[in-house]
């Protein structure tokens, strides 16, 4: 039996629009414009799957005045980008996204302070040199979730999964904001991936691109200057211009609406409600540069998620505490300065105590709590640590020693740790320069003893971080500093008695009997790695510290 289905298009400054689709043999169906700026039409169609698009008299300056153009629905939840059509599904007389039924919505998920994040690019996460299958899809990633659970990961940050042009890229030029990237699989596949993550206690964060769009985004074709800045938002920042930028300052007085606010707010609500995501990483916040809008958008993201935790993360480079709570609009910021200052120390190029301490203790940079920063040694935008080491002539055993040092610093610093996929076993491929060529991570490395040992080291460190409340706290104190020997010791604690001490040797010297005075008091101490008790005599611990290594002591 046929049902009446409404199609609508928000285009307040456009004169005329029509609907065309497979349900009408691609003949035009006129649409009526209302006072609210919407074109609407109703048609009778049976349950099924249909292709459609709008034909509209464009207001964009790159067309002739009122030129008729065909556009994909800006709110389409599925598209065929090759054919330039929207796809809609009708079931039981209603338009639906798909028929997926969530299985694990009642699963208890970790709080923000407990997180260990894994940044993932779906296409490059599976497959590779020794894999006969192309892979690189949501369902392939599901097969690796038990590996991530074994590692101890409890949050995945997905690089953009909105529909982008072509079949491979990093996804940062979004064309269709409500549709998922079809080369990774279907909408049901993505929901199944998120559901399977939740089943394992793993939260899923989405990379949200709300600064700019692809040049052929439907909004660009309908009425460019209604949704976007007419010119570059920051003309002095040409190196960081990636496409037409949403104009969050534009206000339509007649309709009492800020068009870009409305559209992106709808996008965020849709992803939270339809895909049950647990957080958003906001791309290019420095370029977006509108904290009023970000504060409103962050509030939209957290609606309808209670009692589940949600996490709003800024990519603001250079990082700044002004973007984070309690004064800023978002919960956290990618802590680029952690990597920037930590890398030269791990590589033995410098020893600057002030820089070390301010990134290990981001309160010195103005951040209020541990959840305000996301620490990392590598991201999709930065080379893997092993690549950085290799570029400096540090290879083989020496590289694995430095990698373990980096792992300790990452997991014991104040803040939330994040791994870029493959970092945990020593991936060393150079990052993609064009972002259009696949860079599968080399899973075959895990068959090598040194790489497997690094994986096991990360696994043990992550378990320590999750088990010891002190490492999730806002507290850190530097109680021993030795600039000549390049040794730094700090303690992490909470107010319930949990305490950890980290001693780091940033030099190329071995200290067989290094003395650490003023060692924090505890009933007893254990060397974390060897799981042996250590003795503190007259508040002094004497221990051996090898070059470019760290020791961890846990109170008993």
Q: Which residues belong to the active site?
A: 283, 315
Cα–Cα distance measured from residue 517 to residue 149, given in angstroms and rounded to the nearest whole number: 39
Cα–Cα distance measured from residue 139 to residue 120, given in angstroms and rounded to the nearest whole number: 14
Nearest to 73, CA basis, from 84, 57, 58: 84
Q: How many CB atoms are located within 10 Å of the residue 420 CB?
A: 25
Beta strand 38-45 with 3-10: parallel, antiparallel or unpaired? Answer: antiparallel
Spatial neighbors of 262 by CB under 8 A, at least 6 apart, are none
Nearest to 504, CA basis, from 422, 425, 419, 401: 401
Cα–Cα distance measured from residue 285 to residue 432, given in angstroms and rounded to the nearest whole number: 23
Cα–Cα distance measured from residue 193 to residue 140, given in angstroms and rounded to the nearest whole number: 9
Q: How many CB atoms are located within 10 Å of the residue 295 CB?
A: 14
Using DSSP, state whether 333 is helix, strand or coil: strand
* Residues 220 and 244 sit within 8 Å (Cβ to Cβ): yes
Nearest to 500, CA basis, from 555, 425, 445: 555
Using DSSP, state whether 502 is helix, strand or coil: strand
Kindly report the three-state secondary structure assignment for every residue of 286-332: HHHCCHHHHHHHHHHHCCCCCCCCCEEEECCCCCCHHHECCCCCECE
Beta strand 487-493 with 532-534: parallel, antiparallel or unpaired? Answer: unpaired
């Amino acid at each position: 039996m046929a049902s009446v289905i409404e199609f609508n298009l928000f285009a307040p400054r456009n004169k005329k629009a029509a609907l065309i689709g497979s349900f009408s043999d691609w003949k035009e169906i006129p649409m009526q414009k209302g006072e609210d700026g919407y074109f609407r039409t109703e048609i009778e169609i049976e349950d099924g799957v249909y292709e459609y698009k709008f034909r509209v008299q464009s207001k964009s300056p790159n067309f002739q005045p009122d030129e008729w153009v065909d556009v994909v629905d800006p709110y389409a939840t599925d598209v065929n980008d090759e054919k330039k059509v929207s796809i809609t599904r009708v079931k039981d007389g209603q338009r639906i996204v798909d028929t997926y039924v969530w299985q694990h919505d009642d699963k208890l998920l970790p709080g923000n302070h407990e997180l260990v994040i894994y940044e993932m690019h779906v296409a490059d996460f599976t497959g590779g040199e020794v894999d006969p299958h192309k892979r690189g899809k949501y369902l392939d990633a599901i097969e690796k979730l038990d590996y991530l659970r074994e590692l101890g990961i409890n949050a995945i940050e997905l690089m953009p999964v909105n529909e982008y042009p072509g079949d491979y890229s990093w996804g940062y030029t979004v064309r269709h904001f409500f549709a998922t990237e079809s080369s990774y699989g279907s909408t049901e596949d993505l929901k199944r991936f998120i559901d399977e993550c939740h089943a394992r206690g793993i939260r899923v964060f989405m990379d949200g691109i709300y600064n700019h769009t692809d040049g052929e985004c439907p909004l660009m074709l309908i009425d460019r200057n209604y949704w976007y800045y007419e010119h570059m938002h920051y003309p002095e920042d040409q190196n960081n211009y990636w496409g037409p930028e949403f104009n969050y300052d534009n206000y339509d007085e007649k309709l009492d609406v800020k068009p870009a606010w409305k559209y992106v707010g709808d996008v965020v609500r849709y992803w939270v409600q339809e895909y049950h995501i647990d957080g958003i990483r906001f791309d290019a916040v420095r370029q977006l540069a509108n904290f009023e809008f970000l504060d409103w958008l962050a509030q939209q993201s957290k609606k309808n998620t209670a009692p589940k935790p949600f996490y709003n993360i800024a990519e603001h480079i250079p990082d700044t505490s002004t973007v984070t709570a309690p004064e800023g609009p978002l919960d956290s910021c990618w802590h680029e300065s952690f990597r920037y200052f930590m890398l030269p120390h791990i590589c033995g190029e410098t020893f600057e105590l002030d820089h070390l301490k301010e990134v290990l203790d981001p309160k010195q940079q103005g951040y209020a709590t541990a959840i305000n920063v996301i620490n990392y040694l590598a991201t999709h935008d930065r080379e893997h640590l092993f690549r950085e080491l290799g570029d400096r002539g540090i290879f083989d055993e020496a590289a694995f020693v430095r990698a373990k040092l980096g792992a300790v610093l990452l997991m014991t610093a104040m803040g939330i740790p994040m791994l870029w996929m493959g970092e945990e076993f020593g991936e060393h491929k150079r990052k993609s320069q064009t972002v259009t060529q696949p860079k599968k991570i080399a899973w075959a490395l895990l068959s090598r003893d040194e790489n497997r040992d690094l994986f096991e080291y990360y696994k043990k460190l992550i378990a320590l971080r999750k088990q010891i409340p002190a490492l999730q706290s806002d507290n850190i104190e530097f109680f021993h500093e030795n600039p000549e020997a390049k040794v730094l010791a700090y303690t992490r604690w909470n107010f319930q008695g949990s305490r950890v001490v980290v001693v780091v040797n940033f030099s190329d010297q071995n200290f067989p009997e290094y003395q650490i005075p003023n060692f924090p008091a505890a009933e007893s101490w254990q060397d974390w790695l060897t799981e042996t008790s250590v003795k503190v005599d007259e508040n002094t611990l004497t221990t051996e510290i090898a070059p470019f290594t760290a020791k961890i002591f846990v109170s008993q």
